[in-house]
Amino acid sequence: MKLQSTLKLVLRGLAPAALLLAFAAPGTATAQASATQDHVVSSQALDQQLTTNSATRQQNIETLQNLMETPTAQKAMHDAKVDPQQVKSAIPTLSNDELANLSARVNKAQSDLAAGHIGPGLFTIVILVVILIIIIIVVKA
């Protein structure tokens, strides 16, 4: 009888300890395995994405700056009494999303003009709107 109560006491003491070890040991092994694995995104993939984003941003800046150098844009800015240099220098301060949005609108307007879908008058209005948006964004920032 004494052996049976001693055995119960030992089991009561060992059972929680065994459970603790059973649950703690796999967690430790998992943590060690995670530490030795590579990151989810490799540094090469991250560098590639940064390079792509930088190239896209630069292309969008060039699209808008090239538009500002056209005779139509120069005349529109002159008529609106807007300093062309101020607009050109504001373009790189725009966010990536703003640059992408305006650049896409400019590209669409240029292709529509080339295809004859819009005339020079409407294209000039598009240019004025782009200039106005650039000025508003820069002033608001």
The predicted model gives 40-52 an average pLDDT of 84
> CB-based contacts of 56: which residues, under 8 Å, 6+ apart?
96, 100
Q: Within a domain: residue 85?
A: yes
**Same domain? 69 vs 132:** yes
> CB-based contacts of 117: which residues, under 8 Å, 6+ apart?
none
What is the per-residue pLDDT for 110? 93
Q: Within a domain: residue 115?
A: yes
pTM: 0.66
Q: Within a domain: residue 127?
A: yes
- Domain extent, residue 99, equals 58-140
pLDDT tens digit sequence for 95-123: 999 999 999 999 999 999 999 999 999 99
Number of domains, the chain: 2
Q: Within a domain: residue 87?
A: yes
pLDDT tens digit sequence for 11-39: 566 556 555 555 655 555 555 555 555 56
Is the C-alpha dihedral spanning 67, 57, 87, 85 positive or negative? negative
Query: What is the number of other CB atoms lying within 10 angstroms of the CB of residue 106?
Result: 21
SS (H, E, C) the chain: CHHHHHHHHHHHHHHHHHHHHHHHHHHHHHHHHHHHCCCCCCHHHHHHHHHHHHHHHHHHHHHHHHHHCCHHHHHHHHHCCCCHHHHHHHHHHCCHHHHHHHHHHHHHHHHHHHHCCCCHHHHHHHHHHHHHHHHHHHHHC
If one compares 33 and 65, the residue with the highest pLDDT of the two is 65
**Same domain? 114 vs 72:** yes
